[in-house]
Structure 1
Amino acid sequence: MPREVRERQMLDAAVEVFARRGYRAASMDEIAELAGASKPLVYLYLNSKEDLFSACIRREATALMEAVRAAVDPAAPAESRLWSGLRAFFAHTAEHPAGWAVLSCQARTHGEPFAVVVAELRQEIVDLVTRLLAETADGAAAAGERDAGGAGALPGHEVSGLAHALVGAAESLAGWANDRTGAVPTAKETAATLMNVAWVGLENLMNGQRWTASARP
C-alpha cells in the first residue's frame, strides 16, 4: 500500500480516537488497531504520539480552511461570500464531527504547540470575516446607502470586534449542532441562524441604528 494511503488511514484512525478518548487517554495501540496497522509502523511513519496529534490538528485545520475558501466566490457580493462561507463552515464541521472535536476541544486544552495551530486557523477565519465586513461597510458608504443621519464608516476596531464575535458564535453553534441528540439542524439552517443575527445587526449599524443603554442602572 502506498505510504500516503497508509498515513491517511492512520490519521483517520487517530482523529477518531483522539476525539473519543482525548489526547492523554488515547492509546497508540487503539489507533494502530483501528488503522489496521502495527504500532511500530505508526511510530515509524509518524514518530510519536505528540507528532501524530499535531499532524491530525494540522490536517483538520487545513481541510476546514480549504472548505471555507473554496465556497467563497471572490467576485460575489460580500453578503453572498459571508453566507457561502458560513454554510461551508457548518457543513464541514457537521460532516467531520471528530475532526471538529479535535480542533475545538482537544487541541485547545493541551497547550503549545497544539493550541498554536488552532489559534492560527481561527485568526485566518477572523481575517477573512473582517475583510468581508469591512468591504460591506465601505461599499455601503460609497453607494450612499446610509441616511443623512447615518453613522458613517465603521471604525476598524468595531469591524474587528464584530468579526471575532461572529467567529466565536460560529464555533459555539457548530458544537451545539454536533452535540444535539434530537432534531439536528442542517448546515444551511445553522448558517441562517447566525446570518439573522450578524447581517441584520450589521445593516442596522450601517444605517446608524445603534443600541444604547437605558437610563436605568
Structure 2
Amino acid sequence: MPMPSSKAGTKGVPRADRERQVLAAATEEFGRRGYEATTVAAIAARVGVTKPLLHHYFGSKQDLYLACLNPVGERLLHAIRTAMAEPGSAAPPTALRVLHALFTALDGQREAWFVLYDATLPPGGDAARRAAYYRRAIDDLAATGTADLLGTTGSDDPLDADALAHAWRGLCTALVRWWVKHPDESPDAMARRCARLFAAGRALLADPDE
C-alpha cells in the first residue's frame, strides 16, 4: 500500500494549508479556553482531521501551543517596537499609537492576546518559559513608555513607574477582551474609541481651578 506524500494533507488539502488551518483553530481555542481546558481532540475536530495527524504535524499539545505562541509574540513585539519608534511630533500620542498597533496586529485573531497571557500554562515548562519571555519583553517596552510619560509629570518614583506599567497591561487586556465581544469594531474604530476614552479620562481628572 503506497504511503501518502509528506506534502499532502487530508482530503486533498496541501499540508501547508492544513497546518495553517490547525494553527488558526488552535490559537482561537487556546485563547478562548486557556491551555489547561483546551484539548487536542477539540482542535482536530474543528479542522476535520484526526488526533494522530495533528500530533504528526505538530507533536505534543505543548509543541502545538508554542507553534501558536511564537508568531503571536513576534508579531506583537514588532508592532509595539514600530509604534514606539515613530516620530511623535506629527503622530498621535505614543499610547494611542501602541494600542492601534496592537489592534492591527491582532485583527483577525483577537484571542491570540490571551494565548500570550494564559494563567493556566503548566509552570516550569517550555510553554510557560516562552510566554514569560514575550511578556517580559512587552513589559520592558511598556516600562520605557510609562517612564517617559511620568518624566513629563516630574515623577521619578520607580514605584509610580511600576504601578503604571501594571495598569497599562491591565488596560490592554481589558480593551482586547471587550474587542473580542464586539467583532464589528475595526482596529481603526478601536483606536478612535480609545482616543475618546483617554480624552474623557483627562476631562474627568482635570483640575477645575486650572
TM-score (norm 1): 0.66
Q: Is the 8 A contact 2:36 2:120 kept in 1?
A: no
CA RMSD of aligned residues (A): 3.6
1:62 corresponds, among 65, 74, 99, to: 74
Matched, 1:192 2:195: yes
The verdict on how the C-alpha distance between 1:190 and 1:120 changes in structure 2, with shifts beyond 3 A counting, is farther
2:112 corresponds, among 99, 114, 131, to: 99
C-alpha distance in 2, partners of 1:30/1:158? 44
Partner of 1:176: 178
C-alpha distance in 2, partners of 1:8/1:184? 25
* CA apart distance, 1:38: 4.2
Partner of 2:95: 82
Note the residue ranges of structure 1 that are not aligned, 5 or more in a row. Answer: 141-150, 210-217
Q: Is the 8 A contact 1:90 1:190 kept in 2?
A: no
**AA partner of residue 59 (structure 1):** P
Partner of 2:142: 129
Note the residue ranges of structure 2 that are not aligned, 5 or more in a row. Answer: 1-6, 8-13
**AA partner of residue 86 (structure 1):** L
C-alpha distance in 1, partners of 2:98/2:32? 28
C-alpha distance in 2, partners of 1:20/1:164? 23
Q: 1:99-140: CA deviations, max 9, x gaps? A: 234334xx21233234444433333222212222333454x4
* CA apart distance, 1:11: 1.3
Please identify, of 156-165 and 3-12, the stretch whose mean Cα deviation from structure 2 is larger.
3-12
The verdict on how the C-alpha distance between 1:25 and 1:134 changes in structure 2, with shifts beyond 3 A counting, is closer
* CA apart distance, 1:84: 0.7
Aligned ranges for residues 1-217 of structure 1 at < 5 Å? 1=7, 5-35=17-47, 37-76=49-88, 80-93=93-106, 95-104=108-117, 107-112=118-123, 113=125, 114-138=127-151, 140=152, 152-180=154-182, 186-192=189-195, 195-196=198-199, 200=202
Fraction of identical pairs, as percent: 31
* CA apart distance, 1:18: 3.1
Q: Is the 8 A contact 1:169 1:194 kept in 2?
A: no
